[in-house]
């Protein structure tokens, strides 16, 4: 079956957002699926040229260049020699005050439909439709965010009379990072319901979201839980270089975006450091990736009080990030940042993709999030670590104390091998075949 994969993020663009569709395009052919890809290309977005080596030889990839308005402003600022950021677009607003930044982001969210990548979806429609017809595509699959990928895929499917499957890496109007006004949230929820009435199937990355979509869609639309995972091939030959300074390193890879915020962790870390006995093994918090300039002030205040505790390394290629995981004494996963009761069910259902690579790295994990959420339940079953409510710095400090005392977390009850990307592609392929028959 020939399938068109619609995804804004695809190599050479980097970051976590490219991994899911990249791995599907790599492994689906082994399960009777011939993929073709429609993606964006944003030259101002962090690039990872090393990922191009994983794109299958001969794969048909249509890249439509696009920059968001914010990215164009950043490019202009760089040309003017102003302060810039190598992070994702949302991180660029950190140079503004928090109040102005939030107002700008909210205004942009209110006025962009369906999001700030809508221009890409409109520009990509004509060449993508030509690809559908020339290649004999039999199904259209989109992966979001951005939700503009769903908009483009649905339009292609309706125009060509093909089935459409929507893959949710994250939610739309119920995302904790959703910034638009209440009226716009209501509009987007109605729009999403109307769109999904056309879907032949829906896939999601957490069990909680599967239950949610099954309730909303009923029996008319099949819903499958296809989690993110890790690719064993990515770990082949990786040998981390041991560090000789004797410090214990708690490592976080990737960005803090949406509701994720290091503030409570910094509070807890300060509590631990104040109470640590003399002669204790030094603790380092190592932040690898585009953390975002919006946290610069908080990190600077912490570093002024506790110099040398935080180590920062900017965005690195994917294999470099894996080496950082393997070299860590423990890994940090921040699931949410306490956005309040309105977002509690959504945060509880969040399963960050890096968790699966953390599990494969076989390092203990400090998870900050809902203690009964999907991520916490998965870590308890398939990994080792400590879990703390992200809103309680005293509880996080207790976990840091246990971590530094060397108390070994319980061994996992189940192997994490079922999250290997090739096996997950097999489950995804079976679901796509089912949706086409339906």
The DSSP-derived string for 206-239 is SHHHHHHHHHHHGGGS-EEE----B-HHHHTT--
Which residue is associated with the tokens 């190599």? 11
Question: Are 165 and 244 contained in the same domain?
Answer: no
pLDDT (tens digit per residue) in 297-306: 999 999 999 9
Question: Are 19 and 42 contained in the same domain?
Answer: yes
Question: Are 428 and 360 contained in the same domain?
Answer: no
Q: Looking at residue 230, what DSSP letter applies?
A: B
Q: Which stretches of the chain drop beneath a pLDDT of 50?
A: 82-96, 337-345
Question: Are 285 and 339 contained in the same domain?
Answer: yes
Instruction: Give the 3-state secondary structure of 331-352.
Output: EEEECCCCCCHHHHHHHHCCCC
Enclosing domain of residue 383:
234-417
**Cβ-contact 269, 394 below 8 angstroms:** no
Q: Report the candidate in 376, 369, 353, 390 with the shortest Cα–Cα distance to residue 145.
A: 353
Tell me what pLDDT residue 105 has: 63
What is the C-alpha to C-alpha distance for residues 431 and 429, in angstroms, rounded to an integer?
5
What is the C-alpha to C-alpha distance for residues 301 and 307, in angstroms, rounded to an integer?
10
Question: Are 10 and 51 contained in the same domain?
Answer: yes
Question: Are 429 and 313 contained in the same domain?
Answer: no
What is the C-alpha to C-alpha distance for residues 151 and 166, in angstroms, rounded to an integer?
10
DSSP bridge pairs for 287: 252, 312
Containing 6, the helix (H) or strand (E) segment is strand 2-7
Question: Are 208 and 112 contained in the same domain?
Answer: yes
Question: Are 242 and 186 contained in the same domain?
Answer: no
Tell me what pLDDT residue 63 has: 98
Which residue is associated with the tokens 């060509």? 160
Question: How many domains is the chain built from?
Answer: 2
> Can you give the C-alpha Rg of the chain in angstroms?
22
**Cβ-contact 283, 251 below 8 angstroms:** no
Output the domain CATH number for residue 6: 3.40.50.2000
Question: Are 157 and 295 contained in the same domain?
Answer: no
Tokens (6 digits) for 232: 């064993």
**Cβ-contact 101, 91 below 8 angstroms:** no
Tokens (6 digits) for 320: 């470099």
Which residue is associated with the tokens 């400590």? 386
Question: Are 241 and 314 contained in the same domain?
Answer: yes
- The string of DSSP codes covering 67-122 is --HHHHHHHHHHHTT----SS-GGGGGGGS-HHHHHHHHHHHHHHSSSSTTHHHHH
pTM to 2 decimal places: 0.87
Tokens (6 digits) for 242: 């041991």
Cβ atoms within 10 Å of 111's Cβ, excluding its own = 11
Tell me what pLDDT residue 342 has: 44
pLDDT (tens digit per residue) in 315-326: 999 999 999 999
Q: Looking at residue 418, what DSSP letter applies?
A: G
Question: Are 318 and 278 contained in the same domain?
Answer: yes
Question: Are 82 and 169 contained in the same domain?
Answer: yes
Scanning 236-317, the segments in alpha helix (DSSP H) are: 263-275, 296-305
Handedness of CA 160, 161, 162, 163 (dihedral sign): positive
- CA triple 74-313-362, angle to 5 deg: 125
């Amino acid at each position: 079956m020939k399938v068109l994969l619609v995804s804004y993020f695809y190599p050479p663009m980097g970051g976590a957002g490219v991994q899911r569709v990249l791995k599907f395009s790599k492994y689906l052919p082994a399960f009777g699926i011939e993929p073709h890809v429609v993606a964006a290309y944003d030259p101002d977005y962090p690039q990872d040229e090393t990922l191009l080596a994983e794109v299958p030889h001969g794969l048909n990839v249509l890249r439509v260049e696009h920059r968001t308005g914010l990215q164009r402003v950043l490019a202009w600022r760089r040309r003017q020699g102003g302060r810039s950021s190598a992070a994702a677009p949302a991180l660029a607003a950190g140079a503004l005050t928090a109040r102005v930044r939030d107002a700008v982001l909210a205004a942009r969210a209110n006025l962009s439909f369906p999001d700030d990548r809508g221009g890409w979806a409109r520009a990509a429609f004509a060449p993508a439709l030509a690809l559908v017809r020339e290649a004999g595509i039999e199904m259209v699959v989109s992966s979001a965010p951005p939700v503009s990928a769903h908009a483009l895929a649905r339009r292609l499917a309706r125009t060509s009379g093909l089935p459409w499957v929507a893959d949710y890496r994250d939610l739309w109007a119920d995302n904790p990072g959703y910034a638009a006004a209440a009226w716009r949230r209501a509009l987007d929820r109605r729009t999403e319901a109307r769109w999904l009435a056309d879907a032949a199937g829906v896939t999601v990355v957490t069990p909680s979201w599967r239950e949610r979509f099954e309730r909303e869609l009923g029996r008319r639309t099949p819903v499958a839980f296809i989690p993110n995972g890790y690719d064993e091939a990515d770990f082949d030959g990786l040998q981390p270089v041991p560090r000789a300074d004797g410090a214990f390193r708690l490592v976080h890879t990737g960005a803090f975006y949406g509701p994720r915020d290091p503030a409570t962790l910094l509070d807890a870390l300060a509590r631990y450091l104040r109470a640590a006995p003399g002669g204790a093994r030094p603790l380092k918090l190592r932040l690898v990736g585009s953390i975002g300039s919006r946290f610069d002030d908080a990190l600077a205040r912490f570093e002024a009080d506790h110099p040398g505790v935080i180590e920062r390394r900017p965005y690195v290629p994917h294999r470099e990030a894996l080496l950082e995981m393997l070299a860590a004494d423990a890994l940090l996963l921040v699931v949410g940042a306490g956005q309040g009761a309105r977002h509690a069910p959504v945060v509880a259902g969040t399963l960050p993709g890096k968790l699966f690579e953390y599990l494969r790295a076989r390092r203990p994990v400090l998870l900050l999030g809902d203690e009964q959420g999907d991520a916490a339940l998965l870590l308890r079953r398939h990994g080792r670590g400590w879990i703390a409510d992200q809103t309680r710095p005293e509880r996080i400090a207790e976990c840091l104390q246990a971590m530094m005392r060397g108390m070994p977390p319980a061994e996992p009850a189940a192997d994490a091998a079922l999250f290997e990307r090739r096996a997950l592609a097999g489950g995804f392929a079976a679901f796509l075949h089912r949706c086409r028959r339906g």
